[in-house]
Structure 1
Amino acid sequence: MKKTNLTALTAAILLTFSAGAMAQTMSKNDYKASKNSITAEYKAAKQKCDSLSGNANDICAAEAKGNENIAKAELEAKYEPSAKTRYKALMAKADASYKVAKERCDDKSGNAKDVCMKEARAAYVHAKADAKVQMKTLQADEKAHDTSAEANMKAREKASDVRHDAAKDKRAADFAVAKEKCNTYSGDVKERCINQAKTQFGM
């Protein structure tokens, strides 16, 4: 997955759970009905996977389980809107995408598989980092409504620290992908490739 695709995926996930996206609430009966519907949809999807074999079956099963986990997390975020439930919903998407991506990598071999796994990991790190940043930012916003200016400032400083750590984690993950791609070369060419990657990602 290219970096532009990683960015687009992350943006799409975050847009889904922007501050006002989950503002509405639902009744307990609607919540129970939705939960039963999610379980039924998962069972139907899993049953379709049984007709497949090998890695196709593994990918299908991972997608079915991932979709179930995402739907459940999104339901919780809708039923009890908070920074925490939104974070869990974002993480459900990240976990599901990562597990499916790893299964797809099993169709490859050699360096192509290694690069695929590193790219899947990088996408996961990006999604996790952005989810954590959003959670801390939303928590800071929530705190602003019922705390002093000083406490609010500390909360925002903490959110800023999380953004800094997230950027660092993203660079490390992207560097791992670039370094893995350098393994297709040897000698001086490989060394130059790695040095360029170090410069690009500040390693």
Structure 2
Amino acid sequence: MKFARTLIASVAAGLLATSAFAMTEPEHKAAKERISADYKADKQKCDALKANAKDICVKEAKGKEDVAKAELEAQYKPTPKATQKVAEARADAAYSVAKEKCDDLKGNEKDVCEKDAKAAQVKAKEDAKVAAAQAKPADNAAEKGAAVAEARKDANAEKNDANYKAAKERCDALSGDAKSKCVDDMKRMYGKS
């Protein structure tokens, strides 16, 4: 009897928690309008800036809007895929801003900056794919384990490739024996031939 009461209380608490986070269509629409208004206000603040500082500000405002929209959709219709889209929106926003900040640099330093930004974006997106695979319900634990393992394998390959490209760009700044050693070390580190 005590177990039944505990079970009923748990189910009731879960239903209350779910309904507390549920969003009606009018609330969803109002939230979308608020996000749009916030973006316009943030973008307007950028008008006072000049050159690349203005470009960075605009990218930050757009990234903030994109992340807010993804978060809203994940709250409105929560699924592992929606949660993945939030992480991807954050990764894309961070990449966009980081890449724009690289425009203040020149030559190889700019190239390295851009490759590092891309590597960070790839890492975040691949981690989101793995998390989505882990969160996805499955009928069979073995199948889910295989799907997660495959997602991890693919993610590691993508991250390794992005990190390799960034490391290669760093080696390009060097010359002579230092460059040769850097390239050899990098190939060994990332398993490239």
Q: Are 1:99 and 2:88 an aligned pair?
A: no
1:138 to 122, 128, 135: 135
Q: 2:80 aligns with which of 78, 83, 87?
A: 83
Question: In the alignment, is residue 198 of structure 1 matched against residue 164 of structure 2?
Answer: no
Q: Is the 8 A contact 1:76 1:85 kept in 2?
A: yes
1:180 to 154, 169, 189: 169
Give the total of aligned pairs. 173
Distance 1:67 1:157 in 2: 35
Q: Distance in 2 between matches of 1:185 and 1:92?
A: 35
1:92 to partner: Cα distance = 0.6
Within 1, Cα distance between the matches of 2:185 and 2:82?
40
Higher Cα Rg, which structure: 2
State the AA in 2 paired with 1:72: K
Alignment RMSD (CA, Å): 1.3
Which residues in structure 2 correspond to 1:11-160 (within 5 Å)?
Answer: 24-139=21-136, 142-143=137-138, 147=139, 149=140, 152-160=141-149
Cα offset, 1:158, TM superposition: 1.5
Distance 1:111 1:28 in 2: 50
Query: What's the secondary structure of 1:107's corresponding residue?
Result: coil
Deviations 1:165-188 (A, max 9, x none): 111111111111111111121122
Task: Give aligned-pair identity as a percent.
Answer: 47
SS in 2 for 1:51: coil
- Segments of 5+ residues of structure 1 without an aligned counterpart are 1-22
- Partner Cα separation in structure 1 for residue 134 and residue 166 of structure 2: 29
1:198 offset after TM fit, Å? 1.3
Q: Which runs of 4+ in 1 moved over 3 A?
A: none
Q: Give the C-alpha shift of residue 59 in structure 1.
A: 0.6
Which residue in the other structure is 2:10 paired with?
none
Once the two structures are superposed, residues 107-164 of structure 1 have per-residue CA deviations (whole angstroms, 9 ceiling, x without a partner) of 000111011011001001101110111111111xx22xxx3x3xx4223201211101
Q: Distance in 2 between matches of 1:91 and 1:69?
A: 10
> Residue 6 of structure 1 corresponds to which residue in structure 2?
none
Q: Give the letter for the 1:175 counterpart.
A: Y
